[in-house]
Chains A and B, each alone.
Chain A
Amino acid sequence: MIDSKNYAEARICLQKVPEGPAELEMQKFINKREEKIVTILKMYPEPRPALIPILFELQRDYGWIPPMMVKIVAERLRIEPSEAYGVATFYSLMKTKRAGKYVIMICGTLSCELKGSAEVIKAAETALDIKVGETTKDGKITLKRVECLGYCDKAPVVQIDNSSYCEKVTPEDIVKIIKRLRNEF
């Protein structure tokens, strides 16, 4: 009835180890920031709403949010890990995949799309030799396609990390930006 092929496939699925550090390593990292977590937890009447600030706080120190971090934090806040994973993937500022030192975020919503952001993304992909959502092999630059950055009058818009905005970006501009980021290393 349940044939061996189904079991084999499910076993392969089980063997797929999620990216990121092991549980013990992550637990040690989080234990060091116990004070911060306790202060955030005190701000809310119940632990559940503290999920987003805690994940942001830990991401600031770790660089990205590995699945094990989501699991440990969820268990601490008494919610299901899958539920916390759903929250973490909802926000584009939460990096659930291993991210580089610099993150290039290209807006792909309507206004920027009309002004040619698809070409900008293509140019960035060829310049970096990666696809959208991936990180370069040296682990320096991550390319992301994001939703509206609220700067439609200067479309297409590109955001570098959480600080600088580049407006009216052309495919040539993005290559220049990448070169500048590379030179900074």
Chain B
Amino acid sequence: MSLVRVKIDDEEIEVPEGTLVITAAEKLGKSIPHFCYHERLTPVAACRLCLVEIEGMPGLQPSCATKVKDGMIVRTNTKNVLDSHKSVLDLVLETHPLDCPKCEATGRCKLEDFTYEFGPHRVSYYRPPGISAYDYEELSWSPVLKFDPNKCVECSRCIRVCDEVQDCRALVASSRGHNWRITTFTGGPLHCDFCGACASVCPTGAIEQQPGKFWKKDWELEKHFVICSHCGHGCTLLLRGWEGRIARIEDDFKVGINRANICSRGRFGFDIISHSSRLSKPLLRSDGKLVEVTWEKALFAAMEMITASHSVIGLASGMLSVEELFLFSKLLASRNGKKFSESRDGDVIEFEKKRLGRYGSTHGFDQLDSFESIVLVDIPVEELDEVLRIDLISAAKKSGAKLFTAGRASFRLKKRIAGLFKINSQTLASAPAKTLFVVDTERIEEKELSAILEKVSSDPFTGILFVAAQSNSRALSSFGFRVLPSDEISEVDLMIAAGPLQMTERPTSVKRLIASASFRNELVESADLVFPAALPFEKSGTYVNSEGRAQYSDIAVPMAGESWPDAVIWISVMKELGEATPSTPREILDEVRNNHPELFERNYPVKSSEAEPKLPSTRLAPPKRHRGLLLDKSEWLRKLQEHLDFSKEFSPWF
């Protein structure tokens, strides 16, 4: 793309052709007020706030809808321009309730910021006494979203994000002129997933999310990036919190692979870490009842149980991080234990490895638009990976990729599906060259998978994308975890269950059960020894997503009660057993990287523009001016180190 030179306020800048004036000005650090412009959405030039002077053009031009031309001279700070900003803001303020002290959006409100910067510092229009033009009732759209029409500045960002990005159209504009209003169908509750994208793009406090409302002012909240653990997409979340508590979750367009798309689970599911059924202390069964014990006692009991058992099996969850899976598999290997998991992901990737000699998906989420057709092989996309649905839609819009379905159709993609694609050797042979097969690892049948893999191996332009069911189930195959055969477990002395599992009760053939769990559930009730485990935001770890990208997530909040990360639990069990084990996070990571390099490289050509992140550069450091959620992060790292450093802490027992 050719570059053009633009002059903005006597400063020259070179930008690619087709850039908007407002984007070029932003690059120079100029502040142009705007409501309706948003980097993710199509420009509509509705709010008339971003007007600038352009030499050779009559009057003032909206900078959010004007593209730069070579030699263009733009002025953003003349009296004419500043007056226009002032008068537009004055008109907005006329009908806007000035109740900023009791507004949740104070601090992140764009109207507040722009009025402070550009004026008017005294409102010139007053409503005649007795007439309240804007006295609408606050609407409860859903348990998590509320809409206050009085605070709406009519920028239509929420309507556009709902239509263009989410492809949902739950929000529309009703009526026109003075009565123009954001509304749902008949003004009732929202008919959508409550993804919260509308609240995220709202420049004022009109659409507000309910969880975390009135907890803290925006400027008191610190920022910290973490990797979401709800599905295999590996989205980056921006935690906002204070003193180790999370107030809300936001998105950042510039950080992460999800391009500011977050599903409702990711955005509103953060309260799980303070759930009332969290385990806070180790539990040991004595006289048929689970009793709270100290860590020393629990570790000693674990050592006794493991040394007394002749046959050991391990059941790992796909939600554990790479380091934790590695340590758990090391523990099992030291006792000659069989490795199992609930996810079929490990088997499917192993099958692919045998057939093709390669590992994992052939293409990434950002390469969906390079395909002409995408086949969804019996996969409920919105249930498994909601952000992938958004990516598929943007690929269909951007490059005109056609979506086909084989088997169960995805409900929310129904309107975008071009047709059915029956998978057999004949249809695959005649399939167009640029086809991507999106496969659900839990549901794919062996016959279909081998046919697709044959096509992929013979045609270099055909790709396959395995959608992992859990945040790290892609790493299961590297450590040799296979799906647990439902009725084929022979008499086993001891089963060790690690991480969150779907299993509800101990299999009858298992004599004893050690579990690491975060919540009190049926499996925990049937266990003999339970370790309280930390949840993803409370621990650090590497997660490999569906496309095979390894991402590091740091500690954001302190651990609940006396719970420990799984890594620490399995290290201390191994130390108790007298096994050699790496003990610092650095050592663990180095050992995993040496033994399983395939986890840290994506096995497909990555776009040249995108530098392949290498650990520890995948670590998403918070911006320098913010400190992270913890008041003193080094303190928590020290605490983690203390957990690991057992010679100090538990000297009497070692």
Interface on A for B, CB 8 Å cutoff?
A: 1-2, 6-7, 9-10, 12-14, 16, 18, 67, 70-71, 78, 80-83, 85-86, 89-90, 147
Do the beta carbons of A10 and B174 come within 8 Å of each other?
no
Q: In the complex, A80 Cα to B167 Cα: how many Å?
A: 10
Do the beta carbons of B175 and A12 come within 8 Å of each other?
no
A-B contact pairs, 30 of them (CB 8 A): A1-B270, A1-B274, A2-B271, A6-B140, A7-B143, A9-B140, A9-B143, A10-B142, A13-B139, A13-B140, A67-B185, A67-B186, A70-B185, A80-B172, A81-B185, A82-B170, A82-B171, A82-B172, A82-B183, A82-B184, A82-B185, A82-B191, A83-B169, A85-B174, A85-B186, A86-B172, A86-B174, A89-B174, A90-B175, A90-B176
A78 nearest CB neighbor, chain B only: B415
A109 nearest CB neighbor, chain B only: B177
Measured between beta carbons, the chain A residues less than 8 angstroms from B144 are: 2, 6
Q: In the complex, A10 Cα to B142 Cα: how many Å?
A: 5
Most buried by B among A18, A71, A78, A81: A81
Do the beta carbons of A2 and B143 come within 8 Å of each other?
yes
Tell whether B521 is near chain A: CB-to-CB under 8 Å: no
Q: In the complex, A90 Cα to B176 Cα: how many Å?
A: 6
**Known contacts A82-B184, A147-B176, then 16 further A-B pairs from the complex at CB < 8 Å, ordered by chain A residue:** A2-B211, A2-B271, A6-B144, A13-B139, A14-B188, A16-B188, A78-B415, A80-B185, A81-B185, A82-B170, A85-B174, A86-B174, A89-B183, A90-B174, A90-B176, A147-B177
Do the beta carbons of A13 and B415 come within 8 Å of each other?
no
In this complex, the interface size class of chain B, counting residues with CB under 8 Å from chain A, is 20 to 34
Measured between beta carbons, the chain B residues less than 8 angstroms from A78 are: 415
Tell whether B210 is near chain A: CB-to-CB under 8 Å: yes
Do the beta carbons of B210 and A2 come within 8 Å of each other?
yes
Q: In the complex, A82 Cα to B143 Cα: how many Å?
A: 20
Do the beta carbons of A10 and B184 come within 8 Å of each other?
no
Measured between beta carbons, the chain A residues less than 8 angstroms from B212 are: 1
Among A12, A82, A83, A89, which residue has its beta carbon within 8 angstroms of that of B140?
A: A12
Measured between beta carbons, the chain B residues less than 8 angstroms from A14 are: 188-189
Q: In the complex, A52 Cα to B421 Cα: how many Å?
A: 35
Do the beta carbons of B211 and A86 come within 8 Å of each other?
no
Tell whether B268 is near chain A: CB-to-CB under 8 Å: yes
Measured between beta carbons, the chain B residues less than 8 angstroms from A90 are: 174-176
Q: In the complex, A13 Cα to B183 Cα: how many Å?
A: 13
Among B172, B270, B415, which residue has its beta carbon within 8 angstroms of that of A85?
A: B172
Measured between beta carbons, the chain B residues less than 8 angstroms from A13 are: 139-141, 188-189
Tell whether B173 is near chain A: CB-to-CB under 8 Å: yes
Q: In the complex, A85 Cα to B186 Cα: how many Å?
A: 7
Q: In the complex, A13 Cα to B210 Cα: how many Å?
A: 15
Please, what's the 1-or-0 string for B542-566, where 1 marks a CB less than 8 Å from any CB in chain A?
Answer: 0000000000000000000000000
CB of B128 to closest CB in A, whole Å: 12
Most buried by B among A7, A80, A85: A80
Q: In the complex, A13 Cα to B186 Cα: how many Å?
A: 11
A147 nearest CB neighbor, chain B only: B177
Chain B, 308-364, CB within 8 A of any chain A CB: none
Q: In the complex, A67 Cα to B169 Cα: how many Å?
A: 17
Measured between beta carbons, the chain B residues less than 8 angstroms from A1 are: 211-212, 270-271, 274
Most buried by A among B142, B170, B184, B211: B142
Do the beta carbons of B140 and A80 come within 8 Å of each other?
no
Measured between beta carbons, the chain A residues less than 8 angstroms from B173 are: 86
Q: In the complex, A85 Cα to B211 Cα: how many Å?
A: 30
B181 nearest CB neighbor, chain A only: A89
